[in-house]
Structure 1
Amino acid sequence: MTHLSEKTQMLDSLFSHSPVLPLLNIERLEDVLPLADALAEGGITTLEITLRTALGIDAIALLRSQRPALMVGAGTVLAAKQFEAVLAAGAQFVVTPGCTDELLQCGLEAAVPLLPGIATASELMSAYRLGYRRFKLFPAQILGGVGLLRAFAGPFRDVRFCPTGGVSQANLAEYLALPNVMAVGGSWVAPAELIAQQRWGEITALARAAGQVGSA
């Protein structure tokens, strides 16, 4: 079993290379490879495929098979059965919108890192007790955004976050400037309408713009 401290290091390494995590909702399987290629051309090589659509698991398996150089994670994982399914598909990390005892236990047992979602200090502390030190803050902007993250920095000095929910190109730099933010996630890098219209060049441009902020 991989220890949680090792998985924390895995997440830190992962996001040090790619601090902008696009959240991708796949409606057509034929979009997966050109979408990933468009993002990679713009400098984003770590992707979160959500399970908000029925094609999420198939998309993960396709990417792991056809684009092995990319880092592919699974998002919107809500239960242990989904956790097991995304691991079988080859997901290299798992992200949840919230944390339950069941999912936290899955994260302890899995070989790949879990980034559990939290919205409160109490939720954070429940996972912290088990050894988790890296979290998704969701929905970040509604909860207080940058202000909440600054407040969390006081009592939780060894914790870092990936805020999602309301993060955009407009506030990206403000989030990434915080010492306790390791990455940000959002769908603005690959909007649904651009994917539906297969406007890959525009997605590449959005990825490049986000990456320039992330590396500043």
Structure 2
Amino acid sequence: MNDVEKAAVAEDGTGLIDLIRRIKVVPLVTLHSVEEAVPLAKALAAGGVPIAEITFRSPAALEGMRAIHDQVPEVTLVAGTVHTVDQARQAVRVGCRGIVSPAFSDAVVDWCLGSLIPVLPGTATPSDIEKAYDRGLRFTKFFPAEAYGGVGTLKALSGPFAEMSFLPTGGVGLKNVREYMALPNVFAVGGSFPVPSPAQRRGDWKAVTEACVQARQLVQD
């Protein structure tokens, strides 16, 4: 990435955390095809959730990101399930404003910080969080949330890591989202519940919009 690219990403990405804090919910999206990317993104925006974490879990990820960036610019893109620096670099090139990883990858985090790209690394243990803290990060992903104790663990972490804020994902859904959002060290939640899998598979974008409206109401409450 050259200096011009870095400057552009930095300018676009500095407000990413603030945006997520305002929306309070980040839909995790695994695209089944490139063709569904644009209508899905429009459904998110229509439901008041103009952000998407497009995961590197399908061959359609990169081209889907590119299509959303080019055709639905009101939706902010972040790349999810990022394991390598190459994936992070490719995601930024097609329009992603931030990187989310399922675990704490030193290489990915250090590349993002050096390139002025917002990064939310996956953390699940105090040692993960300490590594993030040492690098100056104060916002991280907490994954897999429910498997690692969920609300109870986040409450316990608030003492020794009072400056840290978390984006819990993994097992977060309609049944427990309010419990997570009630925690002072949770700045937003992530999950697939704003994009129900049955609705996505049948291309029912109205149902996706309705799910986003419901999700937004829950997190705002």
Q: SS at 1:97's partner residue?
A: coil
Equivalent pair of 1:57/1:86 in contact (CA under 8 Å)? yes
Cα 1:130/1:8, change in 2 over 3 Å: farther
Q: Distance in 2 between matches of 1:202 and 1:76?
A: 25
Residue of structure 2 equivalent to 1:150: 155
Equivalent pair of 1:7/1:113 in contact (CA under 8 Å)? no
Residue of structure 1 equivalent to 2:134: 129
Q: CA deviation at 1:29?
A: 1.1
Cα 1:12/1:81, change in 2 over 3 Å: closer
Q: CA deviation at 1:7?
A: 10
Equivalent pair of 1:176/1:182 in contact (CA under 8 Å)? yes
Equivalent pair of 1:167/1:186 in contact (CA under 8 Å)? yes
Pick one of 177, 192, 197 that aligns with 1:172: 177
Pick one of 33, 39, 55 that aligns with 1:34: 39
Residue of structure 2 equivalent to 1:89: 94
Equivalent pair of 2:98/2:118 in contact (CA under 8 Å)? yes
Q: CA deviation at 1:111?
A: 2.7
Q: Distance in 2 between matches of 1:173 and 1:102?
A: 34
Q: CA deviation at 1:16?
A: 2.4
Q: TM-score, normalised by structure 2?
A: 0.92
Residue of structure 1 equivalent to 2:21: 16
Q: SS at 1:94's partner residue?
A: strand
- Tell me the alpha carbon deviations over residues 165-200 of structure 1, each in whole angstroms, 9 at most, x when there is no partner: 000011011101111101100012112221110111
Q: SS at 2:36's partner residue?
A: helix
2:105 corresponds to 1:100: yes
Pick one of 59, 74, 79 that aligns with 2:79: 74
Cα 1:33/1:64, change in 2 over 3 Å: same
Q: Which amino acid aligns with 2:63?
A: D
Q: CA deviation at 1:27?
A: 0.8
2:185 corresponds to 1:162: no
Q: Which amino acid aligns with 1:187?
A: S
Residue of structure 2 equivalent to 1:197: 202
Q: Distance in 2 between matches of 1:215 and 1:172?
A: 10
Residue of structure 1 equivalent to 2:69: 64
Q: Count residues in correspondence.
A: 213
Q: Distance in 2 between matches of 1:136 and 1:11?
A: 14
Q: Distance in 1 between matches of 2:169 and 2:181?
A: 12
Unaligned runs of 5+ in 2: 1-5
* Cα RMSD, aligned residues only: 1.7
Equivalent pair of 1:8/1:133 in contact (CA under 8 Å)? no
Percent of residue pairs identical: 37
Q: CA deviation at 1:18?
A: 1.1
Unaligned runs of 5+ in 1: none
- Tell me the alpha carbon deviations over residues 33-74 of structure 1, each in whole angstroms, 9 at most, x when there is no partner: 111111111110011100000111111111111111111110
Q: SS at 1:170's partner residue?
A: coil
Equivalent pair of 2:13/2:98 in contact (CA under 8 Å)? no
Q: SS at 2:70's partner residue?
A: helix
Q: Which amino acid aligns with 1:200?
A: W
